[in-house]
Chains A and B, each alone.
Chain A
Amino acid sequence: MLSYNYTVLILGTTSFIYAGTKLQVRWMRYDHDFPARSFLQNYPDDFARFLLRVEEMGNTGRISLPSQGHALSGKAHRGLYEFKMNKTRAYGFEHSGRFIVVSAATKKKKKSQIMDHDFAAKLRRNYLDHIDDQND
């Protein structure tokens, strides 16, 4: 009988979701957790809808229907993408052939949504700073 020993070294801050033909989609790790995944697990129906968007983003690099997802506008949130499900929203961004899903939140009115966008933008900045530090 064969047994296997894996030598595991944590090098990155993301976890694999889906390898599309265009982008690899991954969860971002933050504070010892994958905040988007943990949040969406409370909404199984939306989680399945989310995975449809993941698949499309991975294979085409975009979401074809604006009602299912779109890039955020405005200087503060430029570069962020919003996946729109029935009750929830998920946020991510593209970087070096990867699409990183950073956070998720419940669907809210426009004004209240800005906090969720800001949080996603903060996580994106953290990630990019971390990558830059590694490259220095």
Chain B
Amino acid sequence: MTKMTKSGSSVVRTREDLPVGHWMARQLPEGASLRGYAEDRAISVLTQVAQEAIDGAGISRAEVAELLGTSRSYVSQVLNGSTNMTLKTLGALLWVAGQQVARLETEPVAIGQQDKHRCARVLRLPFTSPPDEYQDLVISSNVRKAG
């Protein structure tokens, strides 16, 4: 059951908060937190924003290092995602590319538009599907009226 905040909006923090039929809910163990997913997604998305800005400006990593007064290996570590960069560093990387942060958009954890559609489709099914591992192995289903 999805948790509700004081303002009445729903929050997704654990496997149990995901909609019924969500692909991640079918995989994760009971009670699993989605914190790691959200953390790594932030690193992935924000690093890509910086990388794309730098690539778009046609600047090499060596030039970025020189402009920021740091080493090339540090710049590589940051852009590979292996160093946890600060917001200041993100701002500096964007500055190198002549860019700035305009707006940061958010959405419920693990539920993009595509997943919303998929979950809705699963919820509409009038029966329980066979276990995941047999989904592609079902070669026929016989429907009959009981009793």
Q: Bound state CA distance, A12 and B138, in angstroms?
A: 11
Asked whether, in the complex, the Cβ of A8 is within 8 Å of the Cβ of B143, the reply is no
Given contacts A4-B141, A7-B142, A48-B28, contact A68 B135 (CB under 8 A): no
Contact residues in B for A129 (Cβ distance below 8 Å): none
Asked whether, in the complex, the Cβ of A51 is within 8 Å of the Cβ of B147, the reply is no
Given contacts A1-B146, A44-B29, A65-B81, contact A86 B36 (CB under 8 A): yes
Least distance between A3 CB and chain B CB atoms (Å): 4
Residues of chain A in range 10-41 having any CB-CB distance to chain B below 8 Å: 10-12, 15-19, 27, 29, 34, 37, 41
Size class of the A contact interface (CB-based, 8 Å): 35 or more
Q: Bound state CA distance, A34 and B26, in angstroms?
A: 15
Q: Bound state CA distance, A20 and B42, in angstroms?
A: 20
For A41, the closest partner residue in chain B by CB is B29
Cβ of B107 under 8 Å from chain A:
no
Contact residues in B for A8 (Cβ distance below 8 Å): 130, 134, 137-139
Contact residues in B for A12 (Cβ distance below 8 Å): 136-137
Least distance between B11 CB and chain A CB atoms (Å): 16
Name B145's contact: one of A2, A11, A17, A37 (CB within 8 Å): A2
Asked whether, in the complex, the Cβ of B137 is within 8 Å of the Cβ of A52, the reply is no
Cβ of A56 under 8 Å from chain B:
yes
Asked whether, in the complex, the Cβ of A52 is within 8 Å of the Cβ of B136, the reply is no
Prevailing SS type, chain B contact patch: mixed
Name B32's contact: one of A11, A27, A47, A64 (CB within 8 Å): A47
Number of interface residues of B (CB under 8 A): 42
Cβ of A115 under 8 Å from chain B:
no
Residues of chain B in range 64-95 having any CB-CB distance to chain A below 8 Å: 80-82
Asked whether, in the complex, the Cβ of B81 is within 8 Å of the Cβ of A68, the reply is yes
Asked whether, in the complex, the Cβ of B41 is within 8 Å of the Cβ of A9, the reply is no
Asked whether, in the complex, the Cβ of B24 is within 8 Å of the Cβ of A11, the reply is no
Q: Bound state CA distance, A4 and B78, in angstroms?
A: 54
Cβ of A49 under 8 Å from chain B:
yes
Asked whether, in the complex, the Cβ of B141 is within 8 Å of the Cβ of A66, the reply is no
Residues of chain B in range 1-50 having any CB-CB distance to chain A below 8 Å: 23-24, 27-29, 31-37, 39-41, 43-44, 47-48
Least distance between B17 CB and chain A CB atoms (Å): 12
For B82, the closest partner residue in chain A by CB is A67
Name A56's contact: one of B27, B44, B143 (CB within 8 Å): B44
A-B contact pairs, 7 of them (CB 8 A): A4-B143, A11-B137, A12-B136, A16-B135, A44-B32, A45-B33, A65-B43
- A sample of 9 more A-B contacts (CB under 8 A), given A46-B36, A51-B24, is A7-B142, A10-B134, A15-B133, A51-B28, A52-B36, A56-B44, A64-B44, A66-B82, A67-B80
